Amino acid sequence: MYQSSTIDHRIDHFGRTLRRQLKRLYGDVHDVDDLWERVEEILRARHEDRSAALRDLDATRAADPNWFVAPEMLGYSTYIDRFASTVPGLEQHVDHLEALGVRYLHLLALLKARKGDSDGGFAVADYLSIEPALGTMADVERLAAQLRKSRISLCVDLALNHTSDDHHWALAAKAGDPLFRDFYIVVDEETARLREKDLSQVFPGTAPGNFTHVPEMGGWVWTTFYPFQWDLNWANPKVLLAILDAMLRLANHGFEAFRFDSIAFLWKEAGTDSRNRPAAHHIVRALRAALDIAAPATLIKAEAIVPTAYVPPYFGADEGEGFEAECHLVYNNSLMVAGWVALSEGDAALPEAIIQASGGLPPGANWLSYVRCHDDIGWSSVLNDLASFDPKPIERLTQAARFTEGRQGSWACGEAFQSDGASVHGTNGTLASLAGLERATDEQSRDAALRRIRLLNALSIASGGLATLFMGDEAGLLNDHSYLNDPQRRHEGRWVHRPDMDWEALDKPTARRIISDINALRDARIASGGAGGPEAFDTGHPALLGVRCGSDLVFLNFSATPISVVLPTDCSDRLIGRPIDRQAILKPWDVLWAGVSE
């Protein structure tokens, strides 16, 4: 099978796309033939290093490029240290992942990070080493192979926008090496001030501004995130070569997926907000083509937390020379946010609008759907979607944020992130705390919170994406304020929803119910045969969202009142496993997964 796909064939085929990106990115200033020669050298050398087992995987996956767009795919994301202490320690918990049906595992903070505060591992000091306290690359190779046997693909973050200020490139730059100085962007004070006018801020509270004065660099270094995260200068092709080589080496260690962090920010352009620039897409497409040539089993997941309309292009685009693929998976951040908005207002209009905007996936691609992740819920990405049907979108979003932060008589227990609580930015909290479990005082409110947890998990699973659970949410873990005692972390509210995994909690009734709900939803999706781009249908009720999953109709009641539905045909309740009456009633925050037999 797939014998025709030698590295030569793939260079011939995908090399054309890759060269096109080099020309677009660097053609005005650099000799593209010369650059391509160096790229080709790296591709061949890294492919040469690739193990026989991984090359077999390349062949299998290339023959079935839709392998991960399948009803049974489910993901899990976790901080390795908080989940298992060390890499070898994780081997003991693979059974938990298997029991959940996990097929994709994203480990956060795995690569060697900056000493001290490292933004949860996103200030990477060495792309090719594992954080020493966690283990070694040999441990990771063993883990990846063990996971592969369990059909779990291991994913690692590739922070493409920045390195830490103690990465050896940054240290060399600080020491005056011109080669590495050009890996970063250094401007004078006046330019920094001018540029700042066009830029927005990701961490206005804890890291205001986009530039940091670094005396050793003789100016202001571009730092979109924390001052110790130095943005890479992708206008320098040497950065592309270095990252491309590191990425392929990591793929050869057994990682089957990369989470491309912060890719909206890769290309800076004066006079713009330097987000989602066309060239940022060209960089990602170049890296994709490189993987398609030298490690084609490897998936790319895009992390672009940007307004809805800017997100689909991260799957790829046709710029007149045929479709150029970009990322296999893209976070459906807007759908996640919309779920929380809908829950706070008891109205399904926003998720319906987002589903409408999420269809039309290219082949060999899928959304990554989720309810919570290690970051805050960033509200503003759905502002324009709300504006399309509400004249006061900011007020509406602010209300949703405040409700989720526990005001207005809400059940939720969230905390404002990077905002004084008056404006709308982000909200932190675990799924269970935000859904009301922390505040539940009696059996009735506990039951309601557990239904809200199931509702949001159902939105993620029924919408057809690679539904990815965040560590501890399956156990109903609550907000954890212990980070406030740690001077390295106390300024960062996102730690409130990154608790240590509580293995004992798994045996308690709360976790047992959440996990059995997840299992039922997963099995329902498998039975429906649904995966891929989401599709909504009209239920005739503003609080009731209708999602089509394969052949099935899934009803999600976002309100605190019961809603009755009339089913169009005889159905079975997939979550309970028995036939249902055509006329059914959904309790508050209830899910009805109506299985339609063919």
Binding site for ligand OTU (CB under 6 A): 119-120, 122, 159, 202, 225, 261-262, 264, 303-305, 374-376, 378, 426
Residue whose pair of structure tokens reads 């292009």 in the numeric block: 313
Q: Which is nearer to ligand OTU, 366 or 419 (CB)?
A: 419
Computed on alpha carbons and rounded to an integer, the radius of gyration of the chain in Å comes to 24
189 three-state secondary structure: helix
CB of 347 to ligand OTU, least distance (A): 25
Distance of CA 218 to the CA centre of its chain: 36
Spatial separation of the C-alpha atoms in residues 230 and 526, rounded to whole Å: 44
CB of 597 to ligand OTU, least distance (A): 42
**For 345-380, b where at least 16 C-beta lie within 10 A, e where not — what string?**
bebbbbbbbbbebbeebbebbbbbbbbbbbbbbbbb
Residue nearest ligand OTU, Cβ-based: 122
Q: Which is nearer to ligand OTU, 156 or 294 (CB)?
A: 156
CB of 161 to ligand OTU, least distance (A): 7
Cβ 245 vs Cβ 42: under 8 Å: yes
**For 429-466, b where at least 16 C-beta lie within 10 A, e where not — what string?**
bbbbbbbbbbbbeeeeebebbbbbbbbbbbbbbbbbbb
Q: Assign residue 409 a region: left if phi > 0, alpha if psi is -120 to 50, beta otherwise?
A: left
Q: Which is nearer to ligand OTU, 419 or 463 (CB)?
A: 419
CB of 71 to ligand OTU, least distance (A): 27
CB of 552 to ligand OTU, least distance (A): 32
Residue whose pair of structure tokens reads 């599709």 in the numeric block: 535
288 three-state secondary structure: helix
**DSSP collapsed to 3 states, 97-120:** HHHHCCCEEEEECCEEECCCCCCC
Beta-strand relationship, 162-164 and 74-79:
unpaired
- Residues near 508 by beta carbon (within 8 Å), at least 6 away in sequence: none
Q: Which is nearer to ligand OTU, 135 or 378 (CB)?
A: 378
Segments of 402-501 assigned E as strands: 415-417, 426-428, 467-470
Specify the DSSP class assigned to residue 364. Answer: T
Q: Which amino acid is at 297?
A: A
CB of 107 to ligand OTU, least distance (A): 13
573 three-state secondary structure: strand
CB of 189 to ligand OTU, least distance (A): 25
Q: Which is nearer to ligand OTU, 261 or 405 (CB)?
A: 261
Q: Which is nearer to ligand OTU, 426 or 472 (CB)?
A: 426
Q: Which amino acid is at 377?
A: I
Q: Which is nearer to ligand OTU, 223 or 510 (CB)?
A: 223
CB of 122 to ligand OTU, least distance (A): 3
Nearest to 483 by CA among 473, 492, 474, 470: 492
Cβ 404 vs Cβ 427: under 8 Å: yes
CB of 259 to ligand OTU, least distance (A): 8
Q: Assign residue 138 a region: left if phi > 0, alpha if psi is -120 to 50, beta otherwise?
A: alpha
Q: Which is nearer to ligand OTU, 330 or 515 (CB)?
A: 330
Spatial separation of the C-alpha atoms in residues 475 and 371, rounded to whole Å: 14
CB of 430 to ligand OTU, least distance (A): 15
Q: Which is nearer to ligand OTU, 119 or 438 (CB)?
A: 119
Q: Which is nearer to ligand OTU, 108 or 354 (CB)?
A: 108
Segments of 423-576 assigned E as strands: 426-428, 467-470, 535-537, 544-549, 552-557, 563-566, 571-573
Nearest to 125 by CA among 152, 162, 99: 162
Residue whose pair of structure tokens reads 């000799």 in the numeric block: 31
CB of 58 to ligand OTU, least distance (A): 28
CB of 439 to ligand OTU, least distance (A): 24
Q: Which is nearer to ligand OTU, 326 or 573 (CB)?
A: 326
The pair of three-digit structure tokens given for residue 82, joined into one six-digit string = 């908080």
Strand (E) or helix (H) holding 416: strand 415-417
Spatial separation of the C-alpha atoms in residues 366 and 329, rounded to whole Å: 5
Q: Which is nearer to ligand OTU, 21 or 418 (CB)?
A: 418
Spatial separation of the C-alpha atoms in residues 556 and 548, rounded to whole Å: 11
Spatial separation of the C-alpha atoms in residues 301 and 285, rounded to whole Å: 12
Q: Which is nearer to ligand OTU, 124 or 549 (CB)?
A: 124
Cβ 212 vs Cβ 221: under 8 Å: yes
CB of 275 to ligand OTU, least distance (A): 9
Hey, CA dihedral for 39, 43, 46, 48, is it positive or negative? negative
CB of 232 to ligand OTU, least distance (A): 12
CB of 463 to ligand OTU, least distance (A): 20
Q: Which is nearer to ligand OTU, 231 or 438 (CB)?
A: 231
Q: Which is nearer to ligand OTU, 180 or 314 (CB)?
A: 314
